[in-house]
Amino acid sequence: MRQLLPNALEDVIEQLGNLPGVGIRTAERYATHLLRADDRNVQKLAASLATLHKKVKYCPVTFAYINDDQTVSPLYSDSDRDKSLIAVVEEPLDIVALERTNQYMGTYHVLGGAISPIDGIGPEQLHIPELVERIKSDQVIEVIIATNASVEGESTALYLQRYLSEQGVVVKMSRLARGLPVGVDLEYADQITLTHALEGRKTI
Amino acid sequence: MRQLLPNALEDVIEQLGNLPGVGIRTAERYATHLLRADDRNVQKLAASLATLHKKVKYCPVTFAYINDDQTVSPLYSDSDRDKSLIAVVEEPLDIVALERTNQYMGTYHVLGGAISPIDGIGPEQLHIPELVERIKSDQVIEVIIATNASVEGESTALYLQRYLSEQGVVVKMSRLARGLPVGVDLEYADQITLTHALEGRKTI
């Protein structure tokens, strides 16, 4: 079919269409929104994107996102963070979720994903050796395995548990509690969540 | 709260959050996708966005999107398009939808929106005087009012019909047919659509 839209607009639509979950209609909607928006805002977005990769690095210890002028994540280097406690998460943004609770003063370790044979992700692609290294060098007392409550997250947690004991790493290991989330009616809770909630019940 | 993500990443998240229907979680998902993507693709997107406004213009006759090196839309200037027939649409992308049918060989006129008092859009903000001008200068025989099948689209169609006759413009006017879309079960069709389908029934 002949081309119906200006090349520049087609380019933007095609590239926005590569974002996760964005189809052609959504990409068209985003592109025409940007075309109608103030060009200064579009320029700002273009400039931010152009420097994104250069300005964001991974912390070499925790694999959290850091600024390019930082050598290590402040969530690790800060003296008020308890280095003997590590929360192991799948992705860098999981750190943000845990930090928002304002309840955790330990450090983090980002695995960089979860074991998922279907997506071709095996344990060798995750930052597991670096975790073992940290547990030894920082005299870690407890590792909280804070992977997602998904099949992949569970498999990863099980693998980690087995792997660490195989490596002779002696450390207390824990998992985030499973149970009813806030605001959920029993009636609407799924069976597995309710089973977890029963098993993990607390004496009051 | 202290800043938990690198500035450059926060910038991208904030700006992607301005896209229509994109909340903070979706913006975070897009931004981390771009951070994991090949930087060359991100640079390409940045470059496309930087030149978007400069490279896309509005056709001064039809108000369709055109390349910056075009003076008028090829859907108007092409000699095989019937200039005595105008389809009046709300937005430039509506042209793409109609062209995809491969059934229409007339020209287009983009109003630039629809009358919507709640959004502060009155007829004076739409390209209506330019339409009157075209109808006169191009000796137009028929105007197909192809606005959306929404309240605003209907109001705009009614307004246009009244306005053109008030201006003494003598032209055949038509609306796109209303009825059952392809693949819909009667059972699930809404009352108004069914009413339209009954009223517009065809003898076979």
Task: Tell me the average pLDDT across A73-77.
Answer: 94
Ordered by where they begin, the domains of chain B are 7-54 (1.10.8.420), 65-175 (3.40.1360.10)
Select from A39, A49, A53 the least CA-distant residue to A15. Answer: A49
Average pLDDT of the residues of chain A: 92
How deeply is B83 buried, as exposed, middle or buried, from its count of CB atoms within 10 A (0-12, 13-18, 19+)? middle
The residue among B145 and A197 whose pLDDT is bigger is: B145
Model ipTM? 0.84
Residue type, B56: V
Residues of chain A neighbouring B92 (CB-CB closer than 8 A): 5, 32
Whether A144 shows a pLDDT value over 70: the answer reads yes
Please, which residues bridge with residue B108 across strands? Answer: B87
Phi and psi for A114 in degrees, rounded to 5? Answer: -135, 155
Select from B50, B51, B79, B55 the least CA-distant residue to B69. Answer: B55
Nearest-angstrom CA–CA distance, B67 and B59:
9
pLDDT at A2: 54
The whole-angstrom distance between B204's CA and the closest CA on chain A is 33
pLDDT at A140: 95
Task: Tell me the average pLDDT across A60-85.
Answer: 95
pLDDT digits (tens, 9 = 90+) for A85-124: 999 999 999 999 999 888 999 999 999 999 999 989 999 9
Percent of chain B with pLDDT strictly greater than 90: 79
Nearest-angstrom CA–CA distance, A37 and A56:
27
Sequence-separated contacts (24+) of A182-185 with Cβ below 8 Å:
none
Nearest to A11 among B19, B48, B57 (CB): B48
Inter-chain residue contact B33 with A56, CB threshold 8 Å: no
Task: Tell me the average pLDDT across B40-56.
Answer: 96
pLDDT at A191: 87
pLDDT digits (tens, 9 = 90+) for B49-78: 999 999 999 999 999 999 999 999 999 999
Q: At what angle do helices B39-55 and A39-55 cross, to 10 degrees?
A: 170
pLDDT at A131: 96
pLDDT at A64: 96
pLDDT at B2: 54
Contact A55, A68 (CB under 8 A): yes
Inter-chain residue contact A35 with B16, CB threshold 8 Å: no
Identify the band that residue A1 occupies on the pLDDT scale cut at 50, 70 and 90. very low
Nearest-angstrom CA–CA distance, A128 and A143:
13
Identify the band that residue B186 occupies on the pLDDT scale cut at 50, 70 and 90. confident
Residues of chain A neighbouring B31 (CB-CB closer than 8 A): 52
Chain A: residue whose CA lies nearest to B1: A100
Identify the band that residue B21 occupies on the pLDDT scale cut at 50, 70 and 90. very high
Other beta carbons within 10 Å of A173: 15
Task: Tell me the average pLDDT across B97-122.
Answer: 93
pLDDT at B154: 93
Q: At what angle do helices B128-137 and B151-166 cross, to 10 degrees?
A: 50
pLDDT digits (tens, 9 = 90+) for A2-50: 578 999 999 999 999 999 999 999 999 999 999 999 999 999 999 999 9
Identify the band that residue A125 occupies on the pLDDT scale cut at 50, 70 and 90. very high
pTM: 0.82
The whole-angstrom distance between A158's CA and the closest CA on chain B is 26
Residues of chain A neighbouring B16 (CB-CB closer than 8 A): 45
Task: Tell me the average pLDDT across B143-151.
Answer: 93
Task: Tell me the average pLDDT across B24-38.
Answer: 94
Task: Tell me the average pLDDT across B3-7.
Answer: 86
Interface test with B, best of A2, A4, A72 (most B CBs within 10 A): A4
Task: Tell me the average pLDDT across A177-196.
Answer: 86
pLDDT at B1: 43
Whether A75 shows a pLDDT value over 80: the answer reads yes
Select from B175, B166, B46 the least CA-distant residue to A12. Answer: B46
Inter-chain residue contact A20 with B1, CB threshold 8 Å: no
Percent of chain A with pLDDT strictly greater than 90: 79
